[in-house]
Amino acid sequence: MIKRATFVDGKKVPVKLTAHERMVQSAAMAEACRSALQQKQLTPVAREMYEDSLLRHTQDWIRFKKQADQQAKK
């Protein structure tokens, strides 16, 4: 799980990210993979890695989008 940190009384306290924050982060990661795939010098192994990552981040974005929409309805 992705977490962010906040500080309480000088101590680091982990805070869970909301579905919307995870959705935004997945979209950013998918865009980074998409940009990397546009490079012509990629090896076949690197290209496959970026394609797999793009698919995974896109699926995460869809899942988090559904969660964020459900939370918005409440």
Summarised one tens digit per residue, pLDDT across range 14-54 is 667 888 989 999 999 999 999 999 988 999 999 999 999 99
The owner of tokens 């896109």 is: 58
pTM: 0.74
Give the three-state DSSP class for 1: coil
In total, the chain counts a number of residues equal to 74
List the single range of 1-10, 11-20, 28-37, 64-73 with lowest mean pLDDT. Answer: 1-10
**Cβ(6)–Cβ(15) under 8 Å?**
yes
Q: What residue ranges do the domains of the chain occupy?
A: 18-73
> What pLDDT score does 32 carry?
95
Q: Taking each helix axis as running N to C, give the angle between helix 44-73 and helix 19-37, from 0 to 180 degrees, rounded to the nearest 10.
A: 160
